[in-house]
């Protein structure tokens, strides 16, 4: 199973985290492949990953010319996976908010579902070390989207996910133009609308280890408006 798994990690200025994260992933789930999608990070994240790819054939780098956004980074990663024979495809942040210790839980759960969501808001899940306002935005965003889109999932804005290949194949990836939080909401909603099985498993989300947040008010307001667009057009 591990040899059929690709973990996609988008990066922008994650030099403090990426090498440590790749080692931690390989320790938890040996034999998986890792694809870093780097947007020409000024701190040299891409160059560091390039060096790692030389030593290990399971580490891959997709370098883009400039900061083009999280949504298109993931779409490029999904296309990379579908052009090769990966069966289980992960979304994961580079900053240790998504603890690699949960990867085996995802791989167990995906046997019986089409998409697994790492969820902060189911029993056993949670958030550690986040300022109060971030908790409110995150939880509020999930409640707002859940009500507007009439879906039963508790965590709609999280970005720790595992898709089956067939799930990504069922979705019109070229139609997705959302970024940030709304990208996460839209991916889950598209899978839901296809009638595929989505399961949430608990994760405890931690504040980023090193480096700076890329979260912005623009991403926040985009999500608020975009959920209406998602509701009316998908």
Ligand X SMILES: Nc1nc2c(ncn2[C@@H]2O[C@H](COP(=O)(O)OP(=O)(O)OP(=O)(O)O)[C@@H](O)[C@H]2O)c(=O)[nH]1
- Contacts to ligand X by CB under 6 A: 10-12, 14, 37-39, 67, 69-70, 73, 93-95, 97, 208, 213-215
| Interface residue with Mg ion, options 39, 93, 114, 155 (CB under 5 A) | 93
Which entry of Mg ion, ligand X, none binds 117, CB below 5 to 8 A by partner kind? none
State the minimum distance, in angstroms, from the CB of residue 98 to Mg ion. Answer: 8
Whichever of 133 and 232 has its CB closer to Mg ion, that residue is: 133
State the minimum distance, in angstroms, from the CB of residue 197 to ligand X. Answer: 26
Which entry of Mg ion, ligand X, none binds 191, CB below 5 to 8 A by partner kind? none
Taking CB under 5 A as the criterion, which residues in 170-229 touch Mg ion? Answer: 208
- 95 touches Mg ion by CB under 5 A: yes
Q: How far apart are the two ends of the chain, measured CA to CA in Å?
A: 32
- 14 touches Mg ion by CB under 5 A: no
- What count of Cα atoms within 13 Å lies in the side-chain half-sphere of residue 75? 18
Burial letters 81-104, b for 16+ CB under 10 A, else e: beeeebebbbbbbbbbbbbbebbe
H-assigned helices in 101-203: 103-109, 132-149, 165-170, 180-193
State the minimum distance, in angstroms, from the CB of residue 80 to ligand X. Answer: 13
What DSSP string describes 24-39? Answer: HHHHHSTT-EEEEEE-
Which entry of Mg ion, ligand X, none binds 186, CB below 5 to 8 A by partner kind? none
The answer to whether the beta carbons of residues 152 and 196 sit under 8 Å apart is no
Whichever of 67 and 193 has its CB closer to ligand X, that residue is: 67
- What count of Cα atoms within 13 Å lies in the side-chain half-sphere of residue 162? 28
Which entry of Mg ion, ligand X, none binds 94, CB below 5 to 8 A by partner kind? ligand X
Which entry of ligand X, Mg ion, none binds 141, CB below 5 to 8 A by partner kind? none
**What whole-number distance in Å separates Cα of residue 10 and Cα of residue 203?**
20
Which entry of ligand X, Mg ion, none binds 200, CB below 5 to 8 A by partner kind? none
Burial of 57 (0-12, 13-18, 19+ CB in 10 A): exposed
DSSP state of 209: S
Whichever of 39 and 114 has its CB closer to ligand X, that residue is: 39
Interface residues with Mg ion (CB under 5 A)?
93, 95, 97, 208
């Amino acid at each position: 199973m591990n040899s059929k798994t690709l973990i996609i990690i988008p990066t922008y200025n994650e030099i403090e985290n990426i090498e440590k994260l790749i080692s931690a992933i390989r320790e938890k789930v040996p034999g998986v492949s890792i694809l870093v999608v780097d947007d020409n990070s000024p701190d040299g994240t891409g160059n560091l990953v390039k060096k790692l790819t030389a030593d290990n054939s399971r580490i891959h780098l997709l370098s883009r010319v400039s900061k083009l956004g999280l949504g298109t980074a993931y779409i490029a990663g999904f296309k990379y996976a579908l052009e090769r024979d990966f069966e289980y495809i992960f979304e994961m942040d580079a900053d240790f908010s998504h603890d690699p210790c949960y990867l085996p839980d995802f791989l167990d759960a995906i046997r019986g579902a089409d998409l697994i969501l790492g969820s902060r808001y189911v029993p056993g899940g949670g958030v550690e070390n986040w300022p109060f306002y971030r908790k409110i935005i995150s939880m509020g965003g999930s409640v707002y989207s859940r009500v507007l889109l009439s879906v039963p999932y508790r965590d709609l804005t999280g970005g720790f996910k595992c898709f089956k290949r067939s799930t990504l194949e069922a979705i019109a990836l070229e139609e997705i133009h959302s970024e940030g939080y709304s990208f996460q909401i839209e991916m889950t909603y598209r899978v839901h609308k296809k009638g595929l099985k989505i399961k949430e498993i608990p994760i405890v989300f931690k504040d980023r280890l090193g480096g700076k947040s890329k979260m912005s008010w623009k991403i926040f307001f985009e999500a608020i408006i975009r959920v209406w667009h998602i509701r009316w057009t998908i």
